[in-house]
Chain A
């Protein structure tokens, strides 16, 4: 059983899930530094949670720019994100309960 995903990884997975996207997009959506996003992407890719594919050369040429690399979630990535999201939700509920318990 691999280690449960951290908040950064989940943020990135969620960003990718919202649309098929490239690295710069993920930096923009998550607000994380590029030095965090790219190594995490590489790690997620190695873990089989995301896959990467190159944009069609023709599309890029039509728009007059170099082709870019898109990331998308794999099936395992979808499951890991769902599992992580429910874990975070549980954690949030627990924290809230404690905070309320103390102040009340």
Chain B
């Protein structure tokens, strides 16, 4: 496969080599490639076929330019500039159109660069870093570790020179009105050492900061938090700040740009030693608990150890872990090269990146087609000039070179104009991109290299067609002969360009429509609950450090529900540990009582009173769960998916989960799409707040959709009960449901904008083509009118070609639309990738546009004055 591509690369490059030496050149390269393919690739010090064949292009270019002198090149450049300046309108429109295409490509590339290609900032030798994760042979996944597991890995993984852990946490910083909730991380003492981060101010955390539970109230601030909250005061080091219930000493500030070892998600604002873990309900610390997995691991390869060696050595580590942890006999320790994105996120980011690059690639193709078309139209006007040069003895090669220089100049101008687009996009893209991106998307050298490559590619794309048409042997002979009609070849080329414009437009319009319908479908999707008018407010007691007593916390939650119910807008209110499609998700392994062979990690939701009523979740069997005082014994409600999984064909009500006495099932609820609209609902269990506890809860208030509860109202309500309990996000669940399709919405907007651009360009292209055709036949039309032809029949005559071309454009465009639909499949929701109605609608829109583009000039043809038209020619 690689050899095939390499051969193709050589054959393509061969066209640059001057004709008299081409055959020989090609023979040498193909022989060398053949020899390379026969050799064993390992250890010979030779490049792969692709790397080797990459040299063919510079070689061919060298051969082509061998005869060029600086003087003649300068002459071409000067002449090219004169040509461009002589037609400033053309030059400006062409350069701006191209700049749009090139800029769009480089902007999207800057996103891909920041997200997928560039390692997170501030980490030394990031290519030697690895991510360490827990998985299972029976159920592959990418998960974090418990504290004892981490200690074991640290001791056993000799192929890694260091293994550090981090865990995302919410922190509460400040007192009184200054209180704010921040995302931060608990990190092991060697975290900054393993990553190789240097302090910006003061010092970072050290192993000595992470020895004894609760004994290290020190905090490292991010550069951003330091600027925002502390005004960039260098004396902040050594100062004490209130973090949760305790004072912490600020020991240092991280360098600008450093946002931890991960590229996605909210960037951490501060770092605290793991030993400051607040503990679980009742203050239980996780340092001896194998069952509590909460810490993600990153490691650095030891000197002289390759990634493969380290990966192989993990088998031993996995074995030790299985022995030590007793449960889960098929646990595996996995390594992933580099830091920044875990494999799942990477796959998703790469997929979105590819889709975006594909779309902007189409836009580039479209803009190049448009400029090629413009050049061709202008080529007609330049035929006299070219004719003169041919008459003076300019050869075909020389003319082609002149045109190439012109294209290069135009592309250069466009590339320069694209730079501001890329710079602006660097600020603008993170805002529309569906994920919280911690990395800076600012353009770097790689982005600008890409910009230049796209510019060159564009020059080749739009320059080739006109150069070919102008310098074809036949057309030059025609010029020599002084012929005055345009060559058929050029006409056909223009037809082909307009057909591809129409086809690309249809593809983009159809893609935009598919994506748009997906977003609309998401807004009215049945996710198993009633999102309209439902507002959720996240509260977290753990970081305050003041609610170690579970009963006190339960009372506070109960009070919050009562206060929410008392709000004038509220129809009903409840509290729960997670909210559908908006966060707080957690899972717990459950099994039907008395069976050890079946277990499932089910969706875990702890719910307060009137949960199902408030959320609009139907209880299909049995009863819902009551409030704090209504549930004397441990009972649960399971969802339909879990009931079907554990007790197929039986009534789940009355069954029990887990050990003895376990949890008695009192009801079965309809399935709710907790995590994603696209995936099927997970089996899940609802536990009553009376018998289960989480310090992180979400207050839910249902109101009339037209009168939602405002965020301020909810924050004030919480502040009235506990003024120093900060409220996290306040979310409108209907908006959250649509936002869960955010990547689809963003791409829909992007594709929609490009589709509009494409339609406009196609309209202009077709208009130009038909008017040109009509202008060429003005004499014929004049004669026909003089002979008494009806104007209507003349309009039809001119229109015929436009219609033929549009039809061809629609046919090819449906193919493009089909291919795009397949590529976008993962983003679509409740609409087929080849939805007939959508495609038909897009085709109709295109036909209407084409009709407009063709009809305007055709109407003019019907009004031709025969005397004028005949006299003109």
What distance in Å separates the Cβ of A87 from its nearest Cβ neighbour in chain B? 25
Known: A28-B46, A66-B34, A68-B28. A34 touches B66 (CB 8 A): no
Q: Is the CB of B44 within 8 A of A28?
A: yes
Q: Is B283 an interface residue (CB 8 A)?
A: no
Q: Is A35 an interface residue (CB 8 A)?
A: yes
Known: A42-B66, A66-B27. A24 touches B55 (CB 8 A): no
User: Of residues 27 to 44 in A, which have CB atoms within 8 Å of B's CB atoms?
Assistant: 27-28, 31, 33-39, 42-43
Q: Is the CB of A33 within 8 A of B46?
A: no
User: Of residues 40 to 72 in B, which have CB atoms within 8 Å of A's CB atoms?
Assistant: 44-47, 51-59, 62-63, 66
What distance in Å separates the Cβ of A6 from its nearest Cβ neighbour in chain B? 15
Q: Is B30 an interface residue (CB 8 A)?
A: yes
Q: Is the CB of B62 within 8 A of A42?
A: yes
Q: Once bound together, how far apart are the Cα atoms of A46 and B667, in whole Å? A: 89
What distance in Å separates the Cβ of A59 from its nearest Cβ neighbour in chain B? 12
Known: A34-B47, A46-B66, A66-B31. A27 touches B59 (CB 8 A): no
Q: Once bound together, how far apart are the Cα atoms of A65 and B46, in whole Å? A: 20
Q: Once bound together, how far apart are the Cα atoms of A44 and B51, in whole Å? A: 23
List, in ascending order, chain B residues with CB within 8 A of A38's CB. Answer: 55-56, 58-59, 62
Shortest 9 CB-CB contacts between residues of A and residues of B: A34-B55, A35-B55, A38-B59, A39-B62, A35-B58, A66-B31, A69-B28, A68-B31, A24-B32
Q: Is B86 an interface residue (CB 8 A)?
A: no
Q: Is B38 an interface residue (CB 8 A)?
A: yes
List, in ascending order, chain B residues with CB within 8 A of A68's CB. Answer: 28, 31-32, 35
Q: Is B36 an interface residue (CB 8 A)?
A: yes
What distance in Å separates the Cβ of B394 from its nearest Cβ neighbour in chain A? 26
Q: Is the CB of A36 within 8 A of B52?
A: no
User: Of residues 1 to 43 in A, which have CB atoms within 8 Å of B's CB atoms?
Assistant: 22-24, 27-28, 31, 33-39, 42-43
What distance in Å separates the Cβ of A33 from its nearest Cβ neighbour in chain B? 6
Number of B residues, CB within 8 Å of A: 25
Residue of B nearest to A46 (CB): B66
* Interface residues in chain A, defined as those with a beta carbon under 8 Å from any beta carbon in chain B: 22-24, 27-28, 31, 33-39, 42-43, 46, 65-69
Q: Once bound together, how far apart are the Cα atoms of A33 and B44, in whole Å? A: 14
Q: Once bound together, how far apart are the Cα atoms of A42 and B25, in whole Å? A: 11
Q: Once bound together, how far apart are the Cα atoms of A34 and B32, in whole Å? A: 11
List, in ascending order, chain B residues with CB within 8 A of A69's CB. Answer: 27-28, 31
What distance in Å separates the Cβ of B434 from its nearest Cβ neighbour in chain A? 40
Q: Once bound together, how far apart are the Cα atoms of A49 and B55, in whole Å? A: 22
Q: Is the CB of B52 within 8 A of A34?
A: yes
How many A-B contacts if CB must be within 8 Å? Answer: 69
List, in ascending order, chain A residues with CB within 8 A of B66's CB. Answer: 42, 46
List, in ascending order, chain B residues with CB within 8 A of A27's CB. Answer: 46-47, 52, 55
With beta carbons under 8 angstroms apart, the residue of B46, B58, B62, B63 that contacts A24 is: B46
Chain B contact residues: over half helix, strand or loop, or mixed?
helix
Q: Once bound together, how far apart are the Cα atoms of A42 and B27, in whole Å? A: 15
List, in ascending order, chain A residues with CB within 8 A of B31's CB. Answer: 65-69
Q: Is the CB of A35 within 8 A of B38?
A: no
Q: Once bound together, how far apart are the Cα atoms of A36 and B36, in whole Å? A: 17
Known: A24-B46, A28-B44, A42-B59. A33 touches B51 (CB 8 A): yes
List, in ascending order, chain A residues with CB within 8 A of B51's CB. Answer: 33-34
Q: Is the CB of A35 within 8 A of B57?
A: yes
List, in ascending order, chain A residues with CB within 8 A of B62's CB. Answer: 38-39, 42-43
Residue of B nearest to A52 (CB): B28
List, in ascending order, chain B residues with CB within 8 A of A42's CB. Answer: 59, 62-63, 66
Residue of B nearest to A55 (CB): B31
> Could you list 11 further interchain pairs (A-B, Cβ under 8 angstroms) beyond the known A22-B35, A69-B27?
A27-B46, A27-B47, A27-B55, A33-B51, A34-B59, A35-B59, A36-B55, A38-B58, A39-B62, A43-B62, A68-B28
List, in ascending order, chain B residues with CB within 8 A of A46's CB. Answer: 66
Q: Once bound together, how far apart are the Cα atoms of A65 and B59, in whole Å? A: 23
Q: Once bound together, how far apart are the Cα atoms of A100 and B432, in whole Å? A: 59
What distance in Å separates the Cβ of A44 from its nearest Cβ neighbour in chain B? 12
List, in ascending order, chain A residues with CB within 8 A of B36's CB. Answer: 24
Q: Once bound together, how far apart are the Cα atoms of A88 and B35, in whole Å? A: 33
Q: Once bound together, how far apart are the Cα atoms of A28 and B85, in whole Å? A: 49
Q: Is the CB of A37 within 8 A of B28?
A: no
What distance in Å separates the Cβ of A78 from its nearest Cβ neighbour in chain B? 23
Residue of B nearest to A31 (CB): B45
A-B contact pairs, 25 of them (CB 8 A): A22-B35, A24-B46, A27-B55, A28-B44, A34-B53, A34-B56, A35-B56, A35-B59, A36-B58, A38-B56, A38-B58, A38-B59, A42-B59, A42-B66, A46-B66, A65-B34, A66-B27, A66-B31, A67-B27, A67-B31, A68-B28, A68-B31, A68-B35, A69-B27, A69-B28
Q: Once bound together, how far apart are the Cα atoms of A42 and B60, in whole Å? A: 10
Among A34, A42, A66, A69, max chain B CB count under 10 A is at A34
Q: Is the CB of A35 within 8 A of B54?
A: yes
Q: Is the CB of A34 within 8 A of B54?
A: yes
List, in ascending order, chain A residues with CB within 8 A of B52's CB. Answer: 24, 27, 34
Residue of A nearest to B32 (CB): A24
Q: Once bound together, how far apart are the Cα atoms of A34 and B52, in whole Å? A: 6
Q: Once bound together, how far apart are the Cα atoms of A39 and B57, in whole Å? A: 10
What distance in Å separates the Cβ of B725 from its nearest Cβ neighbour in chain A? 63
User: Of residues 602 to 629 in B, which have CB atoms within 8 Å of A's CB atoms?
Assistant: none
Q: Once bound together, how far apart are the Cα atoms of A89 and B101, in whole Å? A: 53
Q: Once bound together, how far apart are the Cα atoms of A43 and B51, in whole Å? A: 22
What distance in Å separates the Cβ of A85 from its nearest Cβ neighbour in chain B? 23
Q: Once bound together, how far apart are the Cα atoms of A28 and B55, in whole Å? A: 14
List, in ascending order, chain B residues with CB within 8 A of A23's CB. Answer: 28, 32
Residue of B nearest to A67 (CB): B31
Known: A24-B46, A34-B54. A39 touches B28 (CB 8 A): no
What distance in Å separates the Cβ of B778 from its nearest Cβ neighbour in chain A? 53
Q: Once bound together, how far apart are the Cα atoms of A33 and B56, in whole Å? A: 11
A-contact bits for B4-35, CB 8 A (1 contact / 0 none): 00000000000000000000000110111011
What distance in Å separates the Cβ of B766 from its nearest Cβ neighbour in chain A? 43
Q: Once bound together, how far apart are the Cα atoms of A24 and B46, in whole Å? A: 8
List, in ascending order, chain B residues with CB within 8 A of A33's CB. Answer: 47, 51, 54-55
Among A24, A33, A39, A42, max chain B CB count under 10 A is at A24
Residue of A nearest to B61 (CB): A39
What distance in Å separates the Cβ of B653 from its nearest Cβ neighbour in chain A? 73
List, in ascending order, chain A residues with CB within 8 A of B35's CB. Answer: 22, 24, 65, 68
Residue of B nearest to A29 (CB): B45
A-contact bits for B239-258, CB 8 A (1 contact / 0 none): 00000000000000000000
What distance in Å separates the Cβ of A58 from its nearest Cβ neighbour in chain B? 15
What distance in Å separates the Cβ of A72 from its nearest Cβ neighbour in chain B? 15
What distance in Å separates the Cβ of B69 from its nearest Cβ neighbour in chain A? 14
Q: Once bound together, how far apart are the Cα atoms of A39 and B65, in whole Å? A: 11
